Amino acid sequence: MIEFEAPKPIANQAFVLKTVAEEMMRSKSRYFDEHEHEIPYDYIEFMHTVKRATGAGSLVPKEEKKEEDPNKPKHAPIGYQMLASIAEMLAWGDVGMYLCTPGGLLGAAAVQAAGTPEQRQKFLSRFVGDKPVFDAMCMTEAGAGSDTSAIRTTAVLDKDKNEWALNGEKIFVTAGDKSLTPNEKFDKGFIVVWATIDPKAGRAGMRAFVVEAGTPGVRVEKLEHKLGIRCSDTATIVLQDARVPFDSILGSPTVETDSAKGFKGAMATFDATRPLVAAGGIGVARAALDFVKEKLAESGVEIRYGLPRQKMTNIEREVIDMEIMLRSAWLLIIKAVWMADNKKSNALEASMSKVKAGDVGTRITQKAVELMGPLGYSRDFLLEKWFRDAKITDIYEGTGQINRLVVARQILDYHSAELR
């Protein structure tokens, strides 16, 4: 039997999440939008406390406990479903602040997906320490955006010292500054750097390396000034002969074309995180739609559900169409995270949910601005900010165009070389 109601643990947290979103995020949204790169310490410290107490709020879900008694009822895993719900509600509050949530971001998700048990223990256990910890994924380069085979950052093994030497420059690194820059309020963070161990091998030579804060030769070169999500830092990171231990590599240290522990293993990160990014985008879109419906209600405009479309006003049709887009995107997300929870291959569904959320988020927030006219364009309200914030969903963690390619390849059973 298929049920569309949220599981009780998820439903029970809704009130708390909404309170956080309204009291700690919405009330500060405009301030942090206008004070780019200022760190929301109160929010970060509060969420770290919550995460330590409950385990919620991390992109790395807690491992399911094994049922020792076979007679006890087994509960379906809901780790990623829980994270999607958290992402949607906190992004409804403020997506930039949500991206400042400590406790395991994309770098941690890569360690979770492709790391050894020892690596997971070493790097992921620090998220439950006394202080917040940040991590980041470093993939994009000036000459290698969507085409990962074009990555030029190199990792050369120094056999005498049993360590890797990394050289290159990474751009658009979300939370890169908080992950690397010393801060008395944060504990030691890390980044996961994508580099090639053999430039001639293409994707087969790509590997991910965990680089800890404080590593000599690693520096934050600059911070981007952005259209939206201004509370979240986006950094350029330079690596100049940055030395990391041999066991910092995620996956095999040799070139193996079909290695599940190499490029393919690390890429599994995105199958888990793309639906969560999509959920955040839907949270922004819902914020815009809720604003529209609230202002219409204040003006005495009623949305008459159930009427034939030809009997509705144009504004009623527009709002209902926005709701249809929002709910259809959310169902795709729920399917993708349900598959992740149940350890089913979800590469197709993850990319589909990301494509849909990126498209829907942009369309809904743009339409909301149009419908509200001066209210939508005014800085007296947050609607114009949500319009700016929404576009990132279509860009980071694989652009809409790239994810459409992923979907097409999955459906048509084509390799990347066959469909570009």
Separation of alpha carbons 294 and 298, rounded Å: 6
Q: Is the pLDDT assigned to residue 73 strictly greater than 90? A: no
Q: How is domain 107-123+131-261 classified at the CATH fold level?
A: Butyryl-CoA Dehydrogenase, subunit A; domain 2 (2.40.110)
pLDDT tens sequence across 351-377: 999 999 999 999 999 999 999 999 999
How far CA 403 is from CA of 11, 105, 350, in Å, comes to: 30, 20, 9
Lowest mean pLDDT among 67-71, 328-332, 405-409: 67-71
**Residue with the larger pLDDT of the pair 204 and 337:** 337
What is the model's pLDDT at position 262?
A: 56
In this prediction, residues 41-58 reach a mean pLDDT of: 86
- Report the share of the chain in percent with pLDDT over 90: 75
Question: How does pLDDT run across 323-342, given as a tens digit for each residue?
Answer: 999 999 999 999 999 999 99
Distance CA 28, CA 230 (A): 12
pLDDT digits (tens, 9 = 90+) for 132-142: 999 999 999 99
pLDDT in tens, 115-127: 999 999 999 999 9
| Whether 25 contacts 94, CB under 8 Å | yes
pLDDT at 1: 40
108 Cβ partners below 8 Å, 6+ apart? 58, 59, 60, 123, 124, 127, 135
* 264: confidence class by pLDDT, cuts 50, 70, 90: low
Residues 6+ apart with CB under 8 A from 205: 196, 197, 198, 199, 255
Q: Tell me whether the CATH fold assigned to 107-123+131-261 matches the one assigned to 264-412.
A: no
List the catalytic residues.
397
Q: Residue 252 — very low, low, confident or very high, per pLDDT cuts 50/70/90?
A: confident
- The percent of residues in the chain predicted with pLDDT above 70, rounded, is 91
The per-residue pLDDT for 377 is 95
* Structure tokens that stand for 341 in this block: 């929870």
Which of 126, 132, 124, 51 is closest to 90 using CA atoms? 51
pLDDT value of position 258: 53
* Topology of domain 264-412, CATH: Butyryl-CoA Dehydrogenase, subunit A; domain 3 (1.20.140)
Whether pLDDT at 58 is above 90: no
How is the chain split into domains, by residue range? Answer: 8-64+74-106, 107-123+131-261, 264-412
Could you give the C-alpha distances from 80 to 269, 312, 419, in angstroms and in order? 13, 39, 30
Span of 24-33, 201-210, 232-241, 257-266 with lowest mean pLDDT: 257-266
Is pLDDT at 2 greater than 90 in this prediction?
no
**pLDDT band at residue 203 using 50, 70 and 90 as cut-offs:** confident
SS3 208: strand
Dihedral angle over CA of 104, 275, 42, 48, nearest 10: -30
Please compute Rg for the chain using Cα positions.
Answer: 22
Tokens representing 15 are: 């009130």
Sorting pLDDT into bands at 50, 70 and 90, what band is 66? low
The confidence band for 31, taking pLDDT boundaries of 50, 70 and 90, is very high
Q: Per the confidence metrics, is the pTM higher than 0.85?
A: yes
Reply yes or no on whether the pLDDT at 263 is more than 70. Answer: no
Strands 206-212 and 154-158: unpaired
pLDDT at 64 over 70: no
76 or 195, higher pLDDT: 195
Maximum Cα interatomic distance, the chain, rounded to a whole number of Å? 78
